[in-house]
Structure 1
Amino acid sequence: MRRLLLSVHDVGPRFEPEIDLLLDRLSAHVELHAMAMLVVPDHWGLHPLVAGSRFASRLRSWTESGVSMFVHGWFHQDRAVHTHAMTRLKARHMTAGEGEFLGLDSATAMRRMTEGRDLIEQITGRPVAGFVAPAWLYGAPAIEALGACGFALAEDHLKVWHPPSRRVLARGPVITWASRSPMRIASSLMAAQLLLSLSRYAPVARVAVHPGDAHVPALLASIDQVLRRLGRTHRPVRYGDLLAD
């Protein structure tokens, strides 16, 4: 049977209520042990993940329930000055100032990756599953740092891969939604319908939800529809299962 990967992005104390709402919704379609969480160590430098805190305890509990934990940047905020025209275009139009790893040099990228991994592993007591850059945006130095850090898994908008070898494990666009404005909500709803039609025939389908989705009924309804229909053709699995192929 085809496989389904489901991830919850931007996990951290900043969005704890939204994460709870999303988990309640998602659990009707996918069991907790088959989900992935993308954890932000210090969202925008204002909401640090602190070892020993109540949220850290919840993170450990989710891990013990089988959730796959990914490092999801450090700040989830783009603080780089972009000099290349294409990079500036991506930073401006593909995310709301959150493409943290798009303009970082290799040393800075590696430091944030390893510090994020160390923190999350200290809290959960288990190895992280991999690394995913905020907004799925990577500069070339960040790609190099990924391989050097030895993360087993990474993904962008179009694929999942094994960074040390650069081997692609799954191809195809991720189905996700945007909640920042009415126009983005409408366009993401249309995109979800189109991608659902394509993903029904893909060996691996990916679905990603964000905290902002929890406050938009139309997005929640679309998420339900996508997971319900993919559930007929795809079996929910863990990201790590791709490594067994």
Structure 2
Amino acid sequence: MSGKFFVVSLHDVHAGNYHIFNEFIKKLNELGVYFVSLLVVPYMHKEHDLSSDLKFVRWLQKKQSQGHEIVLHGYYHYEEIKKDSIFKNIISSIYTAHEGEFYRISYYDAESRIRKGLESFRCNGLKAYGFVAPAWLVNDNTLKTLKNAGLTYTTKLTGILLLKSDIFLKAPVLSLTSRSLLRKLLSIIWARLFSFISVFSPIVRVSVHPGDLETPILKEQLLAEIVHLKKRRNFLTYKELSGLYAESD
């Protein structure tokens, strides 16, 4: 597959916060990026049930009809605290702030949550082709469940996995964090390095979180990088990208 591509994904979209993404989507349209992948959490922290908010459902339906992609992004988006190895506990507490829902999950729980998430989408006229785990952490139990559910792809921190062929597409991701002042400063440094690091990669990703949009310096940095990428690459959703590579296989 020839060509260079980039995907813009909006993370942690749920019934309690979807309105904050409207302005950013409008700005992307002005920049010529017309379609994004919306990573939707059906029952965020057990407080924001997609099916109980008709305005949110209609908003998602409208975005889907406009060409945006709806992606299943976990189910609760948090992980119950568990006793495990020191390394895994550090990953859960420091890297993910206990939001790595599918990091240490059992097959039964993974199957149940993915099934309920997809059913919630289906009942509300939404179609998901892919799954992105919170913090990009997926274990083998989750991968088995995703394949059995007939989903097309999932993503990891380092790239995109096509589930039917097991082809892995390396794709560096620009992801920032607003959780502390130090993390914000490191995010700005990483954003400026990203342009140089990713130049030879056929696929790159820009992942936008709610906290980024509430932090002006991070929001502007993301928009600047998207403008830079738009000059040199074609934008696609994850669904479109996985379809291109599946057809070339």
TM-score (norm 1): 0.92
Q: CA deviation at 1:3?
A: 0.7
**Is the CA contact (8 Å cut-off) linking 2:177 and 2:183 kept in structure 1?**
yes
1:156-197 alpha-carbon deviations (Å, 9 max, x no partner):
1101011243221x2132111101111111111111111221
Q: After the TM superposition, which residues 147-162 of structure 1 pair with which residues of structure 2 at under 5 Å, given as runs?
A: 147-162=147-162
Q: CA deviation at 1:215?
A: 1.2
Q: CA deviation at 1:206?
A: 0.7
Q: Give the equivalent residue in structure 2 for 1:127.
A: 127
1:2-33 alpha-carbon deviations (Å, 9 max, x no partner):
1111100011112123222322333233433x
**Is the CA contact (8 Å cut-off) linking 2:172 and 2:201 kept in structure 1?**
no
1:100-142 alpha-carbon deviations (Å, 9 max, x no partner):
111110110011011101111322x243121000111122322
Q: Give the equivalent residue in structure 1 for 2:226.
A: 227
Q: Distance in 2 between matches of 1:67 and 1:129?
A: 12
Q: 1:200 is matched by which residue type in structure 2? A: V
Q: Give the equivalent residue in structure 2 for 1:217.
A: 216
Structure 1 unmatched ranges of 5 or more: none
**Is 1:38 aligned to 2:39, yes or no?**
yes
Farther-moved stretch of structure 1 (224-233 vs 192-201) = 192-201
1:84-110 alpha-carbon deviations (Å, 9 max, x no partner):
333212112211221111111011001
| 1:175 alignment partner, SS class | strand
Q: Give the equivalent residue in structure 2 for 1:95.
A: 96
Q: Give the equivalent residue in structure 2 for 1:4.
A: 6
**Is 1:71 aligned to 2:72, yes or no?**
yes
TM-score (norm 2): 0.91
Q: Distance in 2 between matches of 1:58 and 1:82?
A: 40
Q: Give the equivalent residue in structure 2 for 1:20.
A: 22
Number of positions where the alignment pairs a residue of Structure 1 with one of Structure 2: 242
Q: Give the equivalent residue in structure 2 for 1:203.
A: 202
Identity %: 25
Q: Give the equivalent residue in structure 1 for 2:140.
A: 140
Q: Give the equivalent residue in structure 2 for 1:54.
A: 55
Q: CA RMSD in A?
A: 1.6
Farther-moved stretch of structure 1 (192-201 vs 7-16) = 192-201
**Is the CA contact (8 Å cut-off) linking 2:20 and 2:213 kept in structure 1?**
yes
Structure 2 unmatched ranges of 5 or more: none
Q: Give the equivalent residue in structure 1 for 2:181.
A: 182
**Is the CA contact (8 Å cut-off) linking 1:45 and 1:75 kept in structure 2?**
yes
| 2:212 alignment partner, SS class | helix
Q: Give the equivalent residue in structure 1 for 2:119.
A: 118
Closer/same/farther in 2, CA of residues 239 and 24 from structure 1, 3 Å limit: same
Q: Distance in 2 between matches of 1:114 and 1:141?
A: 14
Closer/same/farther in 2, CA of residues 215 and 165 from structure 1, 3 Å limit: same
| 1:69 alignment partner, SS class | strand
